[in-house]
Amino acid sequence: MAPAASTEPGEFDPEGKDARQLNNYVSQRMNSYEDVYDDLLYAAYKQHFEKWTIDDFKKSDMIQLGKLINLLRCNGVFVNTTRAHLVAENLMNVLAETDPHVWTEEEVIAHVKRGKELRSENLNDQFAAIITMHQRPPKTSEEKAQQRIPRTPLMPETPSPFPTFGPKTRARSAANSGLGTPTTVPVTSHPNTGQADSNQHMEEQAHKDSLADLISTPQALLNLGKMYTDELKYGAEKNDSFTWKLQIFYDLCQRAFIPPTQEAYHPAFPTMLKGQALQYYYATRQTWLLHGHDPITGLGDHFEGEEYHRAIQQEWNNVIFQSVIDKNLYKTLSECLEIMVSTLQQLYHGLDRDLQTPAYHRIKLVEATHTHPAFQSATT
């Protein structure tokens, strides 16, 4: 039996090792990385694999290396997987880096949208709201089992003249076969729509009944509450957009299995509120209900009416790159640019909805920077 590969940092030399020895080493390293995150994991990976070449990686098991990449990414070390089939090359690229790659918001979103965990402490602190918005809730064993069951239509596509209801069984099939069917079906330019309308109504009612089983159940509301952080809630604070937070609310409701109906949204709505917005909701709720007003519309109109949009528009117009520099004298140009872009992004969600377009955003960026020497060559 060949001796086990040494696991001490720097002692394992992949040169001359066969595939089994290389795979054993990768497996040992993966076990040691389970509870290591971010910069420490990055440093450990570079130390443990510093002697590896592209040929060593290619000699190893690709599936196991794929699991190593997934472990590194989930624990905070960025490995570019745009060309996922280049497994060995992607791992070598990390070894070639001087400093760890800084995750962008888009990279975090792409990672969690694929259903991958993100256990990195740093990334969870930095992108808590983004991760909460885009991550998929893990499927339960019941959901996985249900996913394997083929769906059947609520009503048969071609209704028989003597429809029966409930799941189709052999007994019901035998009973139906004795009823007979028309020998010919006349085709006219004015088909009888009564049966179709009736069936459509029954389908719609069945759909509503299925939604009613989910509507604002305690478990659904509990799921929604667990998804929320204070940052995701609307408090009617400065640069806090109700329209934007409402979109987050609708997205989280969908993931909490709250159906998209006003009746379902109303009991869940307070979950997205905090501070003065929550106080105003409870102070005005009975009045809304008494007069049949929608609380969501009422709260939005109160905090984000025409006066609000005018104020946001004025702030938006006043943002220019030079003014940001003047207020941040000890910051670099790139830091000031980041502050300006972040400020515009916050104000953008408070603009009138007709102005919330990518084109309007780009025009503002050009207007805000074109007078500064650093941007004149790019905007003229």
Q: Whole-number mean pLDDT of the chain? A: 77
Residue that terminates a domain, selected from 77, 102, 127: 102
Q: Are 1 and 88 in a shared domain? A: yes
Domain assignment present for 62: yes
Residue found by looking up tokens 């670099």 in the block: 332
Q: Are 42 and 89 in a shared domain? A: yes
Residues in CB range of 122: below 8 A, 6 or more apart: 37, 38, 39, 76
In angstroms, rounded to a whole number, what is the distance separating the alpha carbons of residues 205 and 207? Answer: 5
Tokens of 40: 């420490």
Residue that terminates a domain, selected from 102, 117, 137: 102
Q: Are 317 and 297 in a shared domain? A: no
Q: Are 47 and 83 in a shared domain? A: yes
pTM of the model: 0.41
Tens-digit pLDDT profile for residues 240-295: 889 889 999 999 998 888 888 888 888 899 999 999 999 999 998 888 888 888 89
Q: Are 88 and 10 in a shared domain? A: yes
Domain assignment present for 313: yes
Query: How many independent structural domains does the chain possess?
Result: 3
Tens-digit pLDDT profile for residues 38-55: 999 999 999 999 999 999
Domain assignment present for 225: yes
Residue that terminates a domain, selected from 102, 132, 155: 102
In angstroms, rounded to a whole number, what is the distance separating the alpha carbons of residues 141 and 162? Answer: 39
Tens-digit pLDDT profile for residues 178-215: 433 334 444 444 445 555 555 666 666 555 555 444 44
More confident residue, 372 or 61: 61
> Domain range holding 268?
218-304
Amino acid type, 18: D
In angstroms, rounded to a whole number, what is the distance separating the alpha carbons of residues 83 and 89? Answer: 9
Q: Are 30 and 44 in a shared domain? A: yes
Domain assignment present for 151: no
Domain assignment present for 345: yes
Paired with 234 in beta bridges are 273
Q: Are 223 and 292 in a shared domain? A: yes
Domain assignment present for 290: yes
